[in-house]
Amino acid sequence: MTAPPKPLSLSAERALSGTVSVPGDKSISHRSLMLGAVASGRTTITGLLEGEDVLATAAAMTKMGAVIARGDTAWTVDGVGGALLEPESALDLGNSGTSARLLMGLIAAHPITATLIGDDSLQARPMGRVTAPLGDMGATFASRGGRLPLTITGAAQPMPIEYTLPVASAQVKSAVLLAGLNTPGDTIVHEGEVTRDHSERMLRGFGAEVEVTETDRGRTIRLRGQPHLSGQAIRVPGDISSAAFPIVAGLIVAGSRVTVTGVGLNPTRTGILEALGLLGANVGVSKDGAAGAEPVGDITVEAGPLTAADIPARLAPLMIDEYPILMVAAAFADGDTEMRGLAELRVKESDRLAVMAEGLAACGVPLRLLDDGIVITGSGGRAIPGGARIDSHLDHRIAMSFAVLGLNAAAPVLVDDARPIETSFPGFAALMQSLGVSAHVDDQER
DSSP summary character for residue 436: T
Count how many Cα atoms sit within 13 Å of the Cα of residue 161 in the half-sphere of its side chain. Answer: 24
Q: How many residues appear in the chain?
A: 446
Is residue 26 part of an annotated ligand binding site?
A: yes
Instruction: Tell me whether residue 395 is one of the annotated catalytic residues.
Output: no
Is residue 230 part of an annotated ligand binding site?
A: no
Asked whether the beta carbons of 117 and 151 are under 8 A apart, the reply is: no
Q: What are phi and psi of 232, to 5 degrees?
A: -130, 165
Is residue 382 part of an annotated ligand binding site?
A: no
* Catalytic entry in 119, 239, 298, 321: 321
How many CB atoms are closer than 10 A to CB 218?
A: 16
Asked whether the beta carbons of 43 and 36 are under 8 A apart, the reply is: yes
d(CA 14, CA 183): 57
Residues 6+ apart with CB under 8 A from 331: 360, 363, 365, 376, 378, 379, 384, 405
Q: How is the beta sheet containing 310-311 ordered, strand by strand?
A: 310-311, 334-339, 373-379, 367-370
d(CA 178, CA 105): 5
| 3-state SS, residue 230 | strand
- Angle of helix 97-108 relative to helix 170-180, nearest 10 degrees, comes to 30
- Cα three-residue angle 43-46-52, rounded to 5 degrees: 95
How many CB atoms are closer than 10 A to CB 412?
A: 17
Rg of the chain in Å (alpha carbons) = 21
Helices (H), 64-197: 97-108, 120-123, 128-136, 170-180
Is residue 348 part of an annotated ligand binding site?
A: yes
Asked, as a colleague might, if the bond just before 149 is cis with ω within 30 of 0, I would say yes
Is residue 27 part of an annotated ligand binding site?
A: yes
| 3-state SS, residue 77 | strand
Is residue 397 part of an annotated ligand binding site?
A: yes
d(CA 385, CA 366): 11
d(CA 439, CA 429): 7
Ramachandran class of 66: left when φ > 0, alpha when ψ lies in -120 to 50, beta otherwise: beta
How many CB atoms are closer than 10 A to CB 128?
A: 12
Is residue 346 part of an annotated ligand binding site?
A: no
Question: What is the set of active-site residues?
Answer: 321
Annotated binding site: 26-27, 31, 97, 125, 169, 171, 321, 348, 352, 397
Residue ranges of the annotated binding site for 3-phosphoshikimate are 26-27, 31, 169, 171, 321, 348
Binding site residue list for phosphoenolpyruvate: 26, 97, 125, 171, 352, 397
